[in-house]
Amino acid sequence: MKTQNIPKATIKRLAVYIQVLTGLKRDGVEVVSSEKLARACSVNPSQIRKDLAYFGEFGVRGVGYYVHELIASIKHSLGVDRVWGCALVGVGNLGRALLRHKEFALRGFSIRAAFDCDPYKIGEIVSGLEVVCTRQLKSRVDELGLEIGIISTPPERAQRAANYLVEGGLKGIVNFAQARIQVPKEITVEYVDFTHHFYSVAFNVSSSD
Amino acid sequence: MKTQNIPKATIKRLAVYIQVLTGLKRDGVEVVSSEKLARACSVNPSQIRKDLAYFGEFGVRGVGYYVHELIASIKHSLGVDRVWGCALVGVGNLGRALLRHKEFALRGFSIRAAFDCDPYKIGEIVSGLEVVCTRQLKSRVDELGLEIGIISTPPERAQRAANYLVEGGLKGIVNFAQARIQVPKEITVEYVDFTHHFYSVAFNVSSSD
């Protein structure tokens, strides 16, 4: 079932489909037509069919998609139908918000450890986790099943955080810090940057004036 | 100078260029070759030239780009060489982190008002701003120069927040809530969702196992 080389844009849309489908499920909807799903996701129905075709056949002609089943299938295809153990490095404002953000656990990403090298933060409990010195990271990886690292440090400390995660043997990093990082090429890195969304809104608003 | 219909992917890359160039400037670099800039941004040099070509001619043959000048030019082209007044709705964990996040102001997005309808939050001071009832939003727009709305509510309250922003006359919305919103088509909406970055990392890590 697992298909390699799925375009990033498709994965992004699949995340939107899961978000919209989860909303429908919350509202008690059991079946959704492809037109209605497409409208709610701001794409056209053929795009949804194309994206889902990477993973197999979905939907029932004349009926649509079974909401619960489609969520499960997309999650299975993406490998997110299991819980991933995550380690967060950088317990500043953003780090604290991420530790307290309920969505991650709901989506299968369980933050099990919080690291920071600031002696004033070590020992503090944030959202049920004790902040531990980043030098201890490697020794916690197996015990806690840490697989994905989250960097939420200031920009100038992002590379050091990345080094600790790589030494710890983590294979994937989601980087919220405003800095590029260098890691061995077998490590997957995703950069999260809110700014371009603001730029995009600002650009569109000034263009339409 | 202002060009309409710049692809979203280009705006996203321009944000990366600004991020990388700002890092270079912080490190005291004054001139950067297109190859070095491209490598730091994880794109190829021809992509940078193509993206910049939307706005005019940049770079000096045999020299490269003047860092300070290029940052200023990209910002001017995107309409982010001025300060945008922003209003945040939803002072939960994420909202607080956004209010305290220094990057926004550095990038020209000044959060000038924080709204929440929770009576326990109204009156609280977060990052120097007093939390005000969302019903007051419209009456603050002109006085504070609010132009862009930020939604950081729980998913089930996102639509109501959007309604207040639209009634207030704001023309652009950056939505961090995990829910789609309906707004008149002249309003620009950008959805911020971290989850697809996690999905993408999880998918790549499981594929490479």
How near does any CA of chain A get to the CA of B170, in Å? 10
* Fold of the domain built from segment(s) B84-195: Rossmann fold (3.40.50)
Contacts of residue B40 in chain A, CB cutoff 8 Å?
180
- Which amino acid, one-letter code, is at A116? D
| DSSP SS3 for B54 | coil
Residue B36 has pLDDT above 80, yes or no: yes
DSSP state of B182: -
Which sign, positive or negative, has the C-alpha torsion A202, A204, B1, B5?
Answer: positive
Q: Which range, A98-102, A136-140, B48-52, has the best average confidence (pLDDT)?
A: A136-140
- Main-chain phi, psi angles of A65, to 5 degrees: -110, 140
CA angle in degrees (0–180, nearest 5) for A136-B209-A100 = 45
User: Would you call B195 and A42 a contact, using CB atoms and an 8 Å cutoff?
Assistant: no
Strands (E) located in B27-94: 31-32, 65-66, 84-89
Q: How confident is the model at residue A164 (pLDDT cuts 50, 70, 90)?
A: very high
Contacts of residue A205 in chain B, CB cutoff 8 Å?
79, 147-148, 171-172, 188
Contacts of residue A155 in chain B, CB cutoff 8 Å?
23
Q: How confident is the model at residue A2 (pLDDT cuts 50, 70, 90)?
A: very low
Q: Residue A124: its pLDDT value, please? A: 96
3-state helix, strand, coil in chain A (%, to 5): 45, 20, 35
Range of lowest pLDDT (A58-62, A73-77, B156-160): A58-62
What the block records as the tokens of A47 is 């795009």
Q: How confident is the model at residue A4 (pLDDT cuts 50, 70, 90)?
A: low
* Out of B147, B178, B201, closest to residue A174 by CB: B201
Name the β-bridge partners of A130: A125
Residue A11 has pLDDT above 90, yes or no: no
Average pLDDT over residues A6-22: 86
Residue of A nearest to B106 (CA): A195
Q: How confident is the model at residue A64 (pLDDT cuts 50, 70, 90)?
A: confident
Instruction: For chain A, give every domain's residue range.
Output: 8-78, 84-195
C-alpha to C-alpha distance for B77 and A79, rounded to whole angstroms: 40
Question: At the top level of CATH, which class does the domain A8-78 belong to?
Answer: mainly alpha
Residue of A nearest to B155 (CA): A23
| CB-facing half-sphere around the CA of B13: CA atoms within 13 A | 22
How near does any CA of chain B get to the CA of A100, in Å? 7
Average pLDDT over residues A157-185: 95
Q: Max alpha carbon distance in chain A (Å)?
A: 62
Mean pLDDT of all residues in chain A? 90
User: Would you call A197 and B180 a contact, using CB atoms and an 8 Å cutoff?
Assistant: no
Q: Residue A45: its pLDDT value, please? A: 87
How near does any CA of chain B get to the CA of A87, in Å? 13
- Main-chain phi, psi angles of B43, to 5 degrees: -135, 175
DSSP state of B83: P
Residue A89 has pLDDT above 60, yes or no: yes
Q: Residue B4: its pLDDT value, please? A: 58
pLDDT in tens, B103-129: 788 888 999 999 999 999 999 999 999
Residue A140 has pLDDT above 90, yes or no: yes
